Structure 1
Amino acid sequence: MPRVADHAQRRRQVVEATMRVMAARGMEGATVAEVAAEAGVSVGLVQRYFPSKDEMLLVTFEFLGAQLVERLKKAWEAGGPVRERLRRCLLELLALDDERIAEIRVYQVFCGRAVSNPALRRVQVALYSAARADLAAAIAQAQAAGEVAADRDPDEEAALLWTLVDGVALHGCADPDGLPPAMAERLVDRQLHRLFG
């Protein structure tokens, strides 16, 4: 009886290999041949699931976003006051360990490529919009619970938090000596203290 391939698993295997290659060697290193070698599969199998490099990259960027959303959901659902939940989520976005550093490197590569690639830019804008909307909803929830002053604008505060964390993540990954993890955490805490009091 012939074996039935798990197509979703195969696609994920290729996408995860693409992320590893990009984290180590950037966009230029993410050739179909390099990704196939990293995944331990043939070039033909990669091309079967992803007819073009652009499609492989697009699906990889979407996967990166979905993986991040899932991790943030778990951090939020761990419970506690809004400030505590928000802090856990924001720290998930920082370059605090090898896994997150690799993820941020891949994210940086995609952001650079999104400047001239409309499909990647749509994914990037969707990620940014969702992040700001989720942050604004959390801040509004904190206002309803009396944790944040009612005169704060949730959309502006969300944009400020997102911009801070995105910048701290990028700088912490690029220059870990100049912006070490402990300082990155302090910057997040300082902003949360300003917001929550």
Structure 2
Amino acid sequence: MPKIVDHDQRRLDLVQATLRLIVRQGLNGATMRDIATEVGFANGVVKTYFGSKADLLAATYLYVFEATNARVATSTTGLRGLDALRAFAYEVLPVTPALHDEARVVLSYLAEVAQNPEHARATAETMELWRAWIVSWLGEADADGRLRAEVDIESETEVLLTYLLGAQTSAIIGGRGFDFAGFRAQLDYVIARLGRPS
């Protein structure tokens, strides 16, 4: 009787191996051969599931993005407005070792996106979900009377997205204020700047 292969599990195994290797060795150290070895597959098996390293990297980015969104769904349950926005940002900002590792994967992918218009479009689409969430939470804060009157929700949403993505770059570069405590302090400042004085 032929062996039944769980193709979805194999794809997931390859994505998770890619994430681990990027964290350990960087993008250049995560070759298709290394990824196959990490999972215990023959080198040719990877090509069966992902036509190129760029495709595998895109799938790894989506894995991280979906994992982030699952954490956001849990952490924002029962929250609204600025409280929900803060909880969301804590799941995106590199404020823990695990989130710092995810930032490395995201940055590796974005370097590839710069050379691939198709992946750039797909990445822009993922950001639309975050954009919609931020607009909604700022709208709730406004409706609750917690948002400063001068805050422009659409403009502030773009600023917040730029900050969150930029923080991932800053985490990898390092330097003064770009550590776990520094990012938490920055987020406190950003949220306080949006809210009405108590």
**TM-score normalised to the size of structure 1?**
0.89
Give me the whole-angstrom Cα distance separating, in 1, the residues matched to 2:187 and 2:114.
28
Q: 1:62 to 1:80 in 2, by over 3 A?
A: closer
CA distance in 2, matches of 1:113, 1:17: 18
Residue in structure 2 matched with residue 46 of structure 1 by the alignment? 46
Give the whole-Å Cα distance in 2 for the aligned partners of 1:91 and 1:169. 12
* Post-superposition offset of 1:39: 1.8
Who is 1:134 aligned against? 133
Q: SS in structure 1 opposite 2:28?
A: helix
Residue of structure 2 in register with 1:104 after alignment? 103
1:95 deviates by 1.7
Residue of structure 2 equivalent to 1:76: 76
- Write out per-residue CA displacement over residues 17-61 of structure 1, whole angstroms, 9 at most, x where no aligned residue: 111112222332222101111222221322221233232222222
Aligned-pair CA distance for 1:178: 4.3
Is 1:169 the counterpart of 2:162? The answer is no
1:195 CA drift (Å):
0.5
* In 2, Cα distance between equivalents of 1:176 and 1:5: 47
Question: 1:123-162: per-residue Cα shift (whole Å, max 9, x none)?
Answer: 3212333222221111012212222145532111111122
Distance 1:123 1:69 in 2: 16
Unaligned runs of 5+ in 1: none
Show the counterpart of 1:24: 24
Identical counterparts, % of pairs: 28
* 2:35 is the counterpart of 1:60: no
Offset at residue 167 of structure 1 (A)? 2.0
Q: How many positions carry a matched residue from both structures?
A: 196
CA distance, structure 1, for counterparts of residue 50 and residue 15 of structure 2? 10
Give the direction of change, closer, same or farther, for the CA distance of 1:13–1:179 in structure 2 (3 Å limit): same
Question: How far off its partner does 1:5 sit?
Answer: 1.7
Deviations 1:93-139 (A, max 9, x none): 12222211111011111111211111221232123332222211110
Task: Tell me the equivalent position of 2:188.
Answer: 189
Amino acid at match of 1:153: D
- Which stretches of structure 1, 4 residues or more, deviate above 6 A after TM superposition? none
**Residue number in structure 1 paired with 2:155:** 156
Matching residue's letter, 1:193 = A
- Change in Cα spacing, 1:81 to 1:130, as seen in structure 2 (3 Å) is closer
Pair 1:7 & 2:7 matched: yes
Kindly indicate whether the alpha-carbon contact (under 8 Å) linking 2:33 and 2:43 is maintained by their aligned counterparts in 1. Answer: yes
Are 2:50 and 2:56, in contact at CA under 8 Å, matched by a contact in 1? Answer: yes
Distance 1:126 1:186 in 2: 29
Alpha-carbon distance, 1:177 to partner: 5.2
Which moved further from structure 2: 83-92 or 176-185? 176-185
Q: Residues of 1 paired with 2:80 and 2:127: CA distance?
A: 24
